[in-house]
């Protein structure tokens, strides 16, 4: 079965222990700070729990198979982003980040890299293919970008950056590894905030980095080991548990999102809608080429803060919360953070696994003029 497995099957089996008589299907979390280690330090796979742990290994093996590259897990998406930037960049280097991507990635670079002589250039996601990459060491971008869902042709971008001698890292959080495979498209690193759809149950903060070059991944692993930025076994085990249902959850969420985006586009109280699955969306064509699903985030503009606040106030089955990718539908007015350059009426809706008729009924009630 192994060789011909579809990705939706692969994800169910990823990282499981080999079938063996009388052994459990799943290995539980291994709670240990240290392991029996006599003599030579290299004589055991596990020595001390800041270096490695069997629970990490199982999830890393599973994610590596799905990503198509060696994988290092982290206790958050930001730890994953910081690991890439910190292990690659040094004084005199230049990094390109999206001006319209996840705020904390830019903030980390400004707070902790810029003072050490690393130059930062911000480029809007839709301008990435036209940017000049000469003298650029690393480009760390998102596609689709969060929250406006702009999509960039990753294969073309990788070619341009490699021609200039730089590295490309993709923050794959919004698409997930089942939505697109950045490494297969030519990126050097793929990273994800597994806090979102990969874990999928809004109960763990987590992340990972995958890469094609074993030496670069070894540096990422060394940074984790020396910075001590390590995930706990329980969180690791929960993410592995969540991973098994990723394909099934995405199937429901993305189908729901398509219908929700079409519904919102036809509603007179909605000023504009962004969803790569809409044929009218600027991201649609490239998304169709490089992604295997169109995602579960729908960003829509109600024109004013007042209208957006009213919508959220009326919501009962849609939770008002930050984050996305969970089984529960959730929404927030993004401009409330003051970190994204978006319209005051913009709502980022993360469509969950509920029955779609119920989500549409809730949206209908929240958008009604009463």
Ligand X SMILES: *Cc1c(COP(=O)(O)O)cnc(C)c1O
Q: Which residues bind ligand X (CB under 6 A)?
A: 76-78, 81, 102, 104, 142, 146, 171, 173, 193, 195-196, 205, 207
Least CB distance to ligand X at residue 269 (A)? 27
Q: Which residue lies nearer to ligand X by CB, 77 or 326? A: 77
Q: Considering the complex, what minimum distance in angstroms separates the CB of residue 87 from ligand X?
A: 17
Beta carbon of residue 324, minimum distance to ligand X (angstroms, whole number): 7
What's the closest the beta carbon of residue 323 comes to ligand X, in angstroms? Answer: 7
Closest CB to ligand X belongs to which residue? 77
* Residue 207 CB, nearest approach to ligand X (Å): 5
Burial of 351 (0-12, 13-18, 19+ CB in 10 A): buried
Collect all residues with Cβ–Cβ distance below 8 Å to 33 and sequence separation of at least 6.
48, 49
Closer of 78 and 138 to ligand X (Cβ): 78
Q: Which is nearer to ligand X, 104 or 365 (CB)?
A: 104
Nearer to ligand X, 81 or 167 (CB): 81
Q: Based on CB atoms, which residue is closest to ligand X, 101 or 263?
A: 101
Per DSSP, the three-state class of 94 is strand
Instruction: List residues bridging with 34 in a β-sheet.
Output: 48
**Shortest distance (Å) from residue 11 CB to ligand X:** 20
Taking residue 335's Cβ as centre, other Cβ atoms within 10 Å add up to 18
Alpha helices in the chain (DSSP H): 7-13, 54-67, 77-88, 103-108, 154-163, 214-227, 233-243, 246-265, 284-290, 305-314, 356-367
User: Is residue 211 a contact partner of residue 170, using CB atoms and an 8 Å limit?
Assistant: no
Cβ nearer to ligand X, comparing 153 with 171: 171
Between CA 175 and CA 171 the distance in angstroms is 9
């Amino acid at each position: 079965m192994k060789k011909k497995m579809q990705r939706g099957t692969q994800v169910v089996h990823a990282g499981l222990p080999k079938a063996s008589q009388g052994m459990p299907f799943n290995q539980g979390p291994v709670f240990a700070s240290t392991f029996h280690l006599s003599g030579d330090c290299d004589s055991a796979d596990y020595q001390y729990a800041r270096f490695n742990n069997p629970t990490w290994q199982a999830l890393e093996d599973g994610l590596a198979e799905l990503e198509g590259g060696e994988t290092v897990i982290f206790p958050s998406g930001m730890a994953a982003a910081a690991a890439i930037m910190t292990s690659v960049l040094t004084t005199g280097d230049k990094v390109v980040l999206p001006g319209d991507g996840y705020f904390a990635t830019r903030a980390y670079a400004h707070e902790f890299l810029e003072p050490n002589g690393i130059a930062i250039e911000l480029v809007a996601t839709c301008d990435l293919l036209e940017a000049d990459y000469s003298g650029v060491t690393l480009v760390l971008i998102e596609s689709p970008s969060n929250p406006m869902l702009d999509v960039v042709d990753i294969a073309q971008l990788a070619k341009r950056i490699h021609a200039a001698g730089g590295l490309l890292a993709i923050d794959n959080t919004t698409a997930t590894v089942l939505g697109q495979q950045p490494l297969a498209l030519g990126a050097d690193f793929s990273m994800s905030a597994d806090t979102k759809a990969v874990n999928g149950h809004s109960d763990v903060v987590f992340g990972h980095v995958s890469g094609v070059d074993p030496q670069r991944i070894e540096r990422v692993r060394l940074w984790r080991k020396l910075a001590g930025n390590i995930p706990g076994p329980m969180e690791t085990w929960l993410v592995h548990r969540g991973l098994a249902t990723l394909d099934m959850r995405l199937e429901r969420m993305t189908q729901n999102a398509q219908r929700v985006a079409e519904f919102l586009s036809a509603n007179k109280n909605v000023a504009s809608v962004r969803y790569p699955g809409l044929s009218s969306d600027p991201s649609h064509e490239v998304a169709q080429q490089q992604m295997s699903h169109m995602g579960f985030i729908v960003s829509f503009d109600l024109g004013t803060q007042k209208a957006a606040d009213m919508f959220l106030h009326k919501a009962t089955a849609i939770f008002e919360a930050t984050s996305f990718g969970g089984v529960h539908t959730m929404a927030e007015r993004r401009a409330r953070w003051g970190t994204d350059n978006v319209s005051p009426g913009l709502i980022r809706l993360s469509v969950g696994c509920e029955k779609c008729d119920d989500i549409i009924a809730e949206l209908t009630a929240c958008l009604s003029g009463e």
